[in-house]
Structure 1
Amino acid sequence: MNIENYPKLTVIMRGYSYEQAMLIIKLLSRYEGKVGVEVTTNNPDHLKVIADGNKQYGDKVNIGVGTVTTVKQAQEAIAAGAKFMLGPQAFSEEIYQLAQQNDVITVPGAMTPTEIQTEINKGADIVKVFPAITVGPSFFKQISGPMPGLRFMAVGGIDIKNSQLFISAGADYLGIGSSFFNKQDLENMDEQALDKSIQEFLITVSK
């Protein structure tokens, strides 16, 4: 996957049923790659979601894997068609090598400037500042001075109310979990309401 095509918004699908995940992927496929899908490894059927999602909608939405902590998880997700991978922590050299060999975007987790630079030196394409809500939007503004040109993703505690604050402060990308959709809308598989949430987030981050 080309880094230039990486979407500004990523939906983090943790705890979704297979049916819910496939519905969200279908809805996102209408938006020409503007919102990516991260399917976390602690969903029991995450590999099936990635594989089936790519088979049906892979040309219209970027699907990746999240909560990658082992080489095996990375290998399995890449085999299923994951175009990017995120982790809550640093990636091992083996994971970076595997990703580079398969043109998969790497987004490891970090929090301090030293951790961020370490992952960049190892080959990270984007650094996931996690949990972003702990350091706040100002962190991104402060760090961009001594560390210009790096790509940052804010993940953890991001919602529609604070998303623009993080973007304005210097976060290039946002990863949004349970706050992306209303829980009841998801449980009811309410396509219209879920689609409205997608539109609202896109409008908010484009301001």
Structure 2
Amino acid sequence: MALRLNTSKLNSLLRPTSVRALSTSSLDRTKSTDNYNAVLTKFANVRACAVLRTPTSEACPKAMQACIDGGFKIVEFTLTTPDCLDHLSAFRQKYDGDVMVGCGTIMDTSDAERAVDAGAEFIITPVMLPDVITWCAARNIVCVPGCQTPTELLNAYRHGAPLQKLFPGVAGGPAWVKAVSSALPMLSINPTSGVTLDNAGEYLRNGAASVGLVAPLFDPVAIQNGDWDTIAKNAEIVMANVKEVGPYVRK
């Protein structure tokens, strides 16, 4: 008789007890379980996040607006962008309930606090930071930490990250994601490097839960020239490829 993997039971066992049992009743900035699930459902349905870094504050809202005009419904402002949190707050107010807004390049819990206070609906880190992951997990805030290896991906999951950002890109691309997601089916991998306008759908077909796009979407030359139409067209190409794959089944 073939053995069948009970992923629900395995998921429960792999998560540390401190994350499973932690009470959030007395913690500041705590979100509801419904809010937490709504963020994950949005990722599962949309499956693509626009990750914006611009060298100037002036370019930031124009580039992000072009991306949204092109069809993106999940966007990430990064702290390396001047006045990042001001722009994040403005877009959260403008698109609340339609476009989901998060914050990236979070390096510690103080960054996370400031981002959440500005309106960030999810938190992204460039590397695997257990203190930020557990801070978010205790507050029902979705954290997507940067990981490079299968070990880091699994450790991020075990610390309480429901999505795991694959960064930077790895040799093999979609094939690598397929191999790792098959061997570790509890993971929900979000490649955010090596993803292009044309291969976003391929990553999803090979097991990625969602993808993030940076330079291929926000072409640095287009930003420098104020060519917002090119960014909007890039967004249209990505979202067309992603929609062909369909929603992700949450784990």
Post-superposition shift, 1:176?
0.8
Post-superposition shift, 1:31?
7.1
Aligned-residue CA RMSD in angstroms? 2.2
Cross-structure match for 2:17:
none
What is the SS of the residue equivalent to 2:81?
coil
**Which structure 2 residue ranges, 5 or more long, are not aligned?**
1-35, 245-251
Contact 1:133 1:158 in 2 (8 A): no
Select which of 173, 177, 183 maps to 1:146.
183
Post-superposition shift, 1:181?
3.2
Post-superposition shift, 1:22?
1.7
Q: TM-score, normalised by structure 1?
A: 0.87
Contact 2:200 2:211 in 1 (8 A): yes
Structure 1 stretch 111-120 or stretch 11-20: which is displaced more?
11-20
State the distance in 2 between where 1:102 and 1:175 align: 24
**Larger relative contact order (Cα-Cα within 8 Å, sequence gap ≥ 6):** 2
Cross-structure match for 2:158:
121
**Change over 3 Å in CA distance of 1:193–1:44 after alignment to 2:** closer
**Change over 3 Å in CA distance of 1:43–1:61 after alignment to 2:** same
What is the SS of the residue equivalent to 1:172?
coil
Cross-structure match for 1:10:
49
Cross-structure match for 1:182:
219
State the distance in 2 between where 1:23 and 1:58 align: 18
Post-superposition shift, 1:71?
1.2
**Change over 3 Å in CA distance of 1:157–1:144 after alignment to 2:** closer
Structure 1 residue ranges (4+ consecutive) displaced by more than 6 angstroms after TM superposition = none
Cross-structure match for 2:194:
157
Contact 2:52 2:64 in 1 (8 A): no
Cross-structure match for 2:203:
166
**Which structure 1 residue ranges, 5 or more long, are not aligned?**
none
State the distance in 1 between where 2:80 and 2:220 align: 19
What is the SS of the residue equivalent to 1:108?
strand
Post-superposition shift, 1:16?
4.8
Identity of aligned residues (%): 23
State the distance in 2 between where 1:177 and 1:118 align: 25
Post-superposition shift, 1:133?
3.8
Larger Rg: 2
Equivalent residues, number:
205
Structure 1 stretch 42-51 or stretch 12-21: which is displaced more?
12-21
